[in-house]
Amino acid sequence: MKLSNKINLNTGVLFTILLVLMNISIYFLFNNFLINSELETAKEEMKITSMTFNKYLVTIPENELLRAYVPVDGMIRIVRPDTKRSLAVTSLNEQVLRKEKAEFYTGEVSKEMIINNHTYAFHSMPIILSDGNIANLQITKSLEKSIENLHSLRLVLIIVTMLALIPVFISSRLLSNLLINPVISMIKTMKEIKESGQFKRLPLEEGSKDELYQMGETFNHMIDLLEANFEKQKQFVSNASHELKTPLTVIESYASLLKRRGLKEPELFNESIEAILSESIRMREMTEQLLLLARHNEQWNLMLTNINLIDVLKQTVKGFQNAYNRDVMIEGEQLTSISVTTDEQKLKQLLFIFLDNARKYSDDIITIAVGIEKNGAYIKIIDRGIGIPKEALPMVFDRFYRVDQARSRKSGGSGLGLSLAKEIADALDVRVTLESKENAGTTVTLTINN
């Protein structure tokens, strides 16, 4: 069953139940009120009648008094303790009441009676007869007119309920359409996206700010994110395949040369082996970086500890100098201790990436400045190399972006190092700022929040 039909059916059934319960409650409340009102009215009339009987029984015969006060649609009688001597007068249309057995009561009685499926109000009150004996003056009065009114009320309530269900079902249909239309529009848009392969958005009514509008707005925002991620993925795949294609082509070319001329020309053999080895190493590094970049921030599995930043910096610089035989000067190492909480291995990896970049694009000494400022501890990696053009600074952290394609390829760069550094910095909550000037050098500042 469609959701709109479910809403329509459930809403209609709920309103129907509420209407029926409300009308049933009205009917029974009015029924009780009407019967009690009739009984109370008959009781008051009984009091007046009994007072008259007590006053005139001495002077007027019982039969005449009974005829004078007999109800239009009922019976009046005097019942003595010996019920066989009871005297009754009945209206012409209620002769069936004569067949009812008389009963003597010691006190006043007021009740509702059902006789032959007809409803009557019964009242009995003690009176003193002319001979001084006590008897009951009993009046039985039909309530059929009131019952007919109740039947009319019941019929009216049934008709009103049925008529009220028409706007109920119409309104429930309108309500279901109001709720379902945005969902239908969303489904239609999804189908169009599936069939065409193009990202589309839902049209939104600017005047409305309800939950349905928020749902549509959230859907459009999700489509924006999907489209942006799709474009990034497409660009990433294109760049990755392009970057991998180059070393593979180089390896294939040199392997072909080795096959044809490698045994005859030792110099060509050595050159080919060096080129194949170099390109293989570059492919391995690129693959490792791609795998690291594929991780999400929550998957870095950080091991946060309290470390001495000066000691970690000295260890990193010593390892870097041994690996590349480059001079690195540390400014601020006279500070005995700078305590920070971070992942030591990830921080070393971050420092190695920026030191490696400084090594590739600068032949001069590399300077590292360390210290403390109000925002936290900072590390500045300063080189005096070729620098980065101002217009390229915002894009250097993009994957596969290289300022100078030819120069970067020659130095072995893949355009992934700084992207990986940005991912690691974000995971460590380290703020990275880059300042550079062409032919003057580059300064990378890492701020570690306390």
225 and 308 in a single domain? The answer is: no
273 and 341 in a single domain? The answer is: no
267 and 374 in a single domain? The answer is: no
Q: Domain limits at 366?
A: 302-449
> Which residue carries 């190493």 as its tokens?
281
306 and 289 in a single domain? The answer is: no
| Domains identified in the chain, total number | 3
394 and 324 in a single domain? The answer is: yes
Q: What is the mean pLDDT of each run of 10 residues along the chain (450 residues)?
A: 73 84 89 84 82 78 84 88 82 84 87 86 86 86 85 88 84 78 79 79 71 78 83 70 70 82 78 80 71 58 86 87 83 78 87 86 89 86 86 75 51 64 85 87 87
Please answer whether residues 262 and 388 qualify as being in contact, where contact means their C-beta atoms are separated by less than 8 angstroms: no
141 and 25 in a single domain? The answer is: yes
Domain CATH for 237: 1.10.287.130
Please answer whether residues 134 and 127 qualify as being in contact, where contact means their C-beta atoms are separated by less than 8 angstroms: yes
Partners of 419 in beta bridges: none
Report helix, strand or coil for 163. helix
Please answer whether residues 422 and 432 qualify as being in contact, where contact means their C-beta atoms are separated by less than 8 angstroms: yes
38 and 62 in a single domain? The answer is: yes
How far is 151 from 164, CA to CA, in rounded Å?
20
324 and 263 in a single domain? The answer is: no
Report helix, strand or coil for 134. strand
Assigned domain for 283 exists: yes
Final residue in a domain of this structure, among 273, 293, 313: 293
Final residue in a domain of this structure, among 293, 312, 328: 293
What's the confidence (pLDDT) of residue 429? Answer: 87
What's the confidence (pLDDT) of residue 243? Answer: 60
How far is 328 from 196, CA to CA, in rounded Å?
57
What's the confidence (pLDDT) of residue 368? Answer: 92
Radius of gyration of the chain (CA): 51
Please answer whether residues 397 and 419 qualify as being in contact, where contact means their C-beta atoms are separated by less than 8 angstroms: yes
123 CB burial (10 A radius; 0-12, 13-18, 19+): buried
Assigned domain for 95 exists: yes
Assigned domain for 220 exists: yes
Final residue in a domain of this structure, among 258, 293, 328: 293
How far is 256 from 254, CA to CA, in rounded Å?
5
Residue among 64, 92, 87 nearest 76 (CA)? 87
What's the confidence (pLDDT) of residue 375? Answer: 76
